Amino acid sequence: STGGAVATPEDHDVEYLTPVSIGTPEQILNLDIDTGSSDLWVFSSETSRSEVKGQTLYDPSNSSTAQKLEGYTWSISYGDGSSSAGEVYLDTVSIGALTVSSQAVEVAQKVSSEFTSDSNNDGLLGLGFGSLNTVQPNAQKTFFDNAMPALDSPVFTADLKAGIPGRYNFGYIDPNAYTGNITYVSVDDSQGFWDWTSPGYAIGSGSFENTTIKGIADTGTSLLLLPSSVVSAYYGKISGAKYDSTQAGYVLPCSPTPPDFAFGVGDDGAAIVLPGKYINYAPTGSSGTTCFGGIQGDSGIGFAIFGDVALKAAFVVFDGGSKTLGWASK
């Protein structure tokens, strides 16, 4: 079997939302597919009313296939300090033509203010490794883990785009979605992330810098977070770029367009090139002359995060069979 659905960007590509069908009859929620976590949780009829502002709610009592996992709970917190918690049901979940009949659907009873204020985001669908799932007393499988045995190929692909809808596909690799070759690299799943190592980077037309960059491919992170040495080398090339402590990040003049940034993939010279305009993440003020940088430092995290700013420049294969990542230009 195969499946897939569109991934529609919110403002500034801060996140991408994908329609997911839950229950019988189907209830369609727009979820943030997140390779950096492994819980499928949704706003629901059980979410405290004061914490709901416009989100679509999953109501298990309206689904003939919902079954409550009595005594099961979940609680999660994310890198940006947001959090949510609740109870657990099993129900039918589909992404396009791909259906998992007994998927753990974690219903939120409480969500932090960041989720409340994100009115288009009805929850998250985690595609990290199972070790990250927070359900107690027994961890639950991700949608991908449940679907994998039935998939034509044990893969899903991320084809995010700048400012326009892209796609997540399951079970196949669309040869029309990328150019050139897909370069596969090994993944370290010991921390539950799609963790890989880039051999280095290049700035604009500059020479390639060989430096090991270990990091995760994370569709749930908006920016590209890299070691401070790389970040200061990049912004050092841009007059007027500086670290702005009030913004807690590097800012740069929105014009002229900043230099491209390329990161290496594999050991035979392949690279993914981010057009400089991707580094103009969003204007910081009303004048539109200063932009917040799409590349920021990873200090305090312990690894780099190849988030949406990087992923939208590539076609990425997440191979659950061989536990590898495939990177291609497009």
Ligand X SMILES: CC[C@H](C)[C@H](NC(=O)C[C@H](O)[C@H](CC1CCCCC1)NC(=O)CCNC(=O)[C@H](Cc1ccccc1)NC(=O)N1CCC(N)CC1)C(=O)NCc1cnc(C)nc1N
**Residues paired with 73 in a beta bridge:** 87, 136
| 244 flagged as catalytic | no
Give me the least distance between CB of 227 and ligand X, in Å please: 17
CB 58, CB 22: distance < 8 Å:
yes
Among residues 126 and 199, whose Cβ is nearest to ligand X?
Answer: 126
Give me the least distance between CB of 153 and ligand X, in Å please: 25
Give me the least distance between CB of 238 and ligand X, in Å please: 18
Q: Which of 9, 22, 31, 32 binds ligand X (CB under 6 A)?
A: 32
Give me the least distance between CB of 206 and ligand X, in Å please: 26
| 34 flagged as catalytic | yes
Which of the ranges 98-106, 221-229, 250-258, 267-275 carries the binding residues for ligand X, by CB under 6 A?
221-229
Catalytic-role residue among 198, 218, 260, 298: 198
Give me the least distance between CB of 212 and ligand X, in Å please: 22
Residue 302 binds to ligand X (criterion: CB under 6 A): no
Among residues 218 and 319, whose Cβ is nearest to ligand X?
Answer: 218
Task: Show the site string, 64-103: x = touches ligand X by CB under 6 A, - = not.
Answer: ------------xxxxxxx---------------------
Residue 231 binds to ligand X (criterion: CB under 6 A): no
Catalytic-role residue among 13, 34, 39, 122: 34
- How many residues lie near ligand X (CB under 6 A)? 24
Residues near ligand X (CB under 6 A): 14-15, 32, 34, 36-37, 76-82, 114, 118, 124, 132, 134, 218, 220-223, 292
